[in-house]
Amino acid sequence: MTTIKIGGVPEHFNLPWHFAIEDGAFEKEGIDLQWQDVPEGTGRMSKLLRTQELDVACILTDGIVKDIIAGNPTRILQVYVASPLLWGGVHAPGTIEAEKTQQLEDGKFAISRYGSGSHLMSYLLAKRHGWDIEDLSFELVNTLDGAVDALSQNKAQLFLWERYMTQPIVDQGIFKRLETIATPWPSFVIAATQDCISEKEEALGKMLAIINRYTADFKQIPSIDRTIASHYDLQVGDVQQWLLRTEFSDDQLWNSTVDKIIEEFSAVGIIDRKVALDELIYDIPNTDEEE
């Protein structure tokens, strides 16, 4: 049995992994897949990959590209969710008078971790509105619950997070949604440490074959909208919208995608050099799994 330690955010994107684990799909292929929820998001997962507390992560594309360029000994195995992440994104305290993001130029951003999506996207938001990047300030909140506390206590005035996971908080009036932003690249990729690749490549190939089969079938599961809504405390209508716009993938990352990420984050000083695609990805030979 080959052990693979994998992490991801506790959100609906990763439900296929839990279904596969519950079905014993990995175990049947000789893989002990040990899932770890990482509510702090991409910044935390990047650190766990660096320290090898995780072998694999389902992680935001822009975040791991940025961290690999910064020296993380990890490689992207494939795209996991091809559709853009809808940051819906830009939230303010529910009681605030502001109705537009532009009114909060001097506000502090709540972020889960430095290097996380909530941190990186704040720079793109600032660029979008013509704000001075040097003036941005941040409140470290770790998790979505931490962001609720920070905005409720006015320790921060802006927070970027996935649109559907924050919908219940908006519905309760705790957050006010000011605008939405879709990332101009795929949402999530599957990345593995170089040590894991060198030691467990065959098992990783089997792992990818299994999860790709589960994601291919995921949206056709009877009553999947109700299952997701119940599991993550969401409204069925919101889940149905999410299912319509979410596209899982088994493709590799494209050069044009990497170029776009580097272009956007170089413009705000987050990435300081260009890299070749082969410095970021690793292609594992396709494993045709017996069904």
Residue 290: per-residue pLDDT: 44
pLDDT in tens, 220-257: 999 999 999 999 999 999 999 999 999 999 999 999 99
Region label for 182, one of left (φ > 0), alpha (ψ between -120 and 50) or beta (otherwise): beta
Are residues 260 and 199 located together in one domain of the fold?
yes
User: What gap in Å lies between CA 169 and CA 144, rounded to an integer?
Assistant: 10
In a domain, 288, yes or no: no
In a domain, 119, yes or no: yes
Average pLDDT over residues 273-290: 83
For position 110, which CATH number holds? 3.40.190.10
Number of domains in the chain: 2
Q: What angle do CA 52, 114, 269 make, to 5 degrees?
A: 115
In a domain, 285, yes or no: no
pTM higher than 0.85, yes or no?
Answer: yes
More confident residue, 46 or 287: 46
Are residues 65 and 200 located together in one domain of the fold?
yes
In a domain, 225, yes or no: yes
pLDDT in tens, 185-208: 999 999 999 999 999 999 999 999
Query: In the predicted model, what is the mean pLDDT of the chain?
Result: 94
Of the candidates 90, 133, 138, the residue with the CA atom closest to the CA atom of residue 114: 138
Give the CA-trace dihedral at 251, 252, 257, 258, to 10 degrees: 170
pLDDT in tens, 111-154: 999 989 999 999 999 999 999 999 999 999 999 999 999 999 99
Q: How far is CA 262 from the centre of its chain?
A: 17
Residue 287: per-residue pLDDT: 61
Are residues 175 and 193 located together in one domain of the fold?
no
Print the domain residue range for 93. Answer: 86-182
Are residues 192 and 274 located together in one domain of the fold?
yes
Which of 157, 182, 207 corresponds to the end of one domain?
A: 182
Which of 182, 207, 228 corresponds to the end of one domain?
A: 182
